[in-house]
Structures are given as structure tokens and as C-alpha cells.
Amino acid sequence: MNEGSSAQWLAVAQQIDARIEELRPEADRHVVGQHVISQVLLKRFATPFGSNGLKLLPFNLDHPNRVHKLASPRECGKVKHFARFASASLEQVWGRLETRIPDAAVAVARGDVFDNEQHVQTLKDLIALHLVRSLNFRDVHERIFTKIYTEQRTALLTDQSDLLRLAVLQRSGLHLAGPQGLRVVP
């Protein structure tokens, strides 16, 4: 591996480390039951149900034969543990976006959404957040992460051991000796 690519990998690793450290105070603030579909959007498809408010008939793809019961938008489109780290910070981003959706939706209904850059940006953000909060995207991410992690760990312990030695030296000041020293790195 040449020095340029080693420096690039190190810079990326440092950026990731910095973001993890930035979110570390949030790590214990975990939200159980995170929406993967905006409640604001769900409400647009719900119908009034007597004095019980708006209701939807959710369909569970994992259990298609289960009896489906009416539920409020608050109860639908949730995944128990979608984001596993600092999920409260993700919920805050989601909440800020949801406050902007109603105005953009009105502009869509009127047909003048493209006249307002803020509404266009809201729609772009809405699409992006729904994409990254999809179960399919999460599954793909987890599969890719597992594959790349395994491949990179193997590479760092063999062909790219010089890069691992450099990173450990920069972080801890320790000089790793031989293959045994490399294997103790988590």
C-alpha cells in the first residue's frame, strides 16, 4: 500500500471516530419503536374512525396471515430497534423534518411545490430519510458492513499490517511487534 492511500484511509477513520465521539453522549439515549415511515405521511392515508381519531389498517409482511387490526399512525410503521447507536439523535432529525412536511404537502396539492426552494428541499430530505430508514437499506448496510469488516480485518492483519501498525502507533504510541501484536488489536 502506498503512503497516499494509507493517509486517505487514516483520514476517513479519523472522521468516523470523530463522529462516533460526537454522538457518544447520546449513546445511552436509545429510542425503542422508531418510525421508518413518517407519521405525517401515515396520517395522510388514515381515515377518521369515530371518536378514536385517525386509523390505518397496517399489514405485517412478516406475518401476512395474522389478523390485522386498526391502529393509529403513531402505532404504525415502527421497528423496535431500527438504529442501534444514538437513536435519539436520529429521532430529533426525523422530528425536525416532520414539522416541515405539512407545508410542503399543501404546496404539492396546490401544484406549486417547485416555486418554493424550501419545499423542494423538504421533499428531498423526506425521500432521503425514508431511504436511509428503510428496512431493506438497513439489511443491505449490515450485510455490506459485515463483509467489508471481515475483509478489512483480514487485510490489516496480513497485506496491510503496516497501516494497522501506523494507526495503533498514532492512537496509542505503542509499537506492535510481529503477528502476535497485530492480533490483539480489536
Listed as ranges, residues in the chain with pLDDT below 50 are: 1
For residue 15, the Cα-to-chain-centroid distance in whole angstroms is 17
For the CA atoms of 9, 15, 20, 23, the dihedral, rounded to the nearest 10 degrees, stands at: -170
Of 77, 64, 78, 81, which Cα lies nearest the Cα of 142?
81
pLDDT recorded at residue 122: 95
Q: Are 156 and 163 in contact (CB under 8 A)?
A: yes
66-98 per-position pLDDT tens digit: 898 999 999 988 888 877 777 787 788 888 998
Does pTM top 0.85 for this prediction? no
pLDDT recorded at residue 44: 87
pLDDT recorded at residue 86: 75
How many CA atoms, within 13 angstroms, populate the side-chain half-sphere of residue 175?
1
